[in-house]
Amino acid sequence: MIRLLLVDDQHLIRAGLRMLCDAQPDLDVVGEADNGRDAITLAARLRPDVVVMDLRMPGVDGITATSRILADRPATRVMVLTTFGDDDHLYPALTAGACGFLLKDAPPADLLDGIRRAAAGDSPFSPEVLRRLVERAVHARAGAPRRTAELTARERDVLDLVADGLSNTEIADRLHIGVTTVKTHITSLMTKTGSPNRVRLALWARGG
């Protein structure tokens, strides 16, 4: 079971998230908080595997709460779920230690996939957010020498779709292969390119 802490100052949002997660056999909502201060306290007491974190909240905001939670328990995975996808929210959240960044207009299936990926050590990002990260990194590192790696044709297909922000399920559907096979290819790609996570792999694919 993946233990979840839901943090959002809007009761309706939390209720919707709880209903969605409670319907999944592998997800267990162990607590809720409507502000960052309570989130810090509950995370220390309940020890969730994943915290689904809003950013804009009264009192202690989500970025401060993320930093405090991870300082106390680095193994916790904090996945941001927010309405605001601009750089003023994205980069401070990543600096605070958030492992992923999803927007609230994401389909429910993408949210559930993101929670599971976060719990598994992956870095879930909304496609538009990942593209912006990649574009900025490519722009900042334009002209840097390109690293090389020996990739198979299928690995290159998977790599291109990772760079486009597709999830494992979407890649499997696009290439007509199994999700387990996709995961195997991504593990191989990370090893060959020296990428510690999915975001770095996407950056590598774009020449970053």
pLDDT at residue number 168: 86
Cβ contact 4:50 at 8 Å: yes
Alpha helices in 23-120 (DSSP H): 36-46, 62-72, 87-96, 108-119
Q: Is the pLDDT of residue 165 over 70?
A: yes
Identify the residue whose tokens are 């999915």: 198
Tens-place pLDDT, residues 49-88: 999 999 999 889 999 999 999 999 999 999 999 988 777 7
Q: Is the pLDDT of residue 136 over 70?
A: no
Greater pLDDT, 24 or 122: 24
The pair of structure tokens assigned to 9 is: 């100052």
Q: Is the pLDDT of residue 20 over 80?
A: yes
pLDDT at residue number 7: 97
Q: Region 6-32: what's the mean pLDDT?
A: 96
Tens-place pLDDT, residues 145-159: 445 467 888 888 999
pLDDT at residue number 143: 43
Count of beta carbons in the 10 Å neighbourhood of residue 134:
22
pLDDT at residue number 86: 75
Q: Is the pLDDT of residue 122 over 90?
A: no
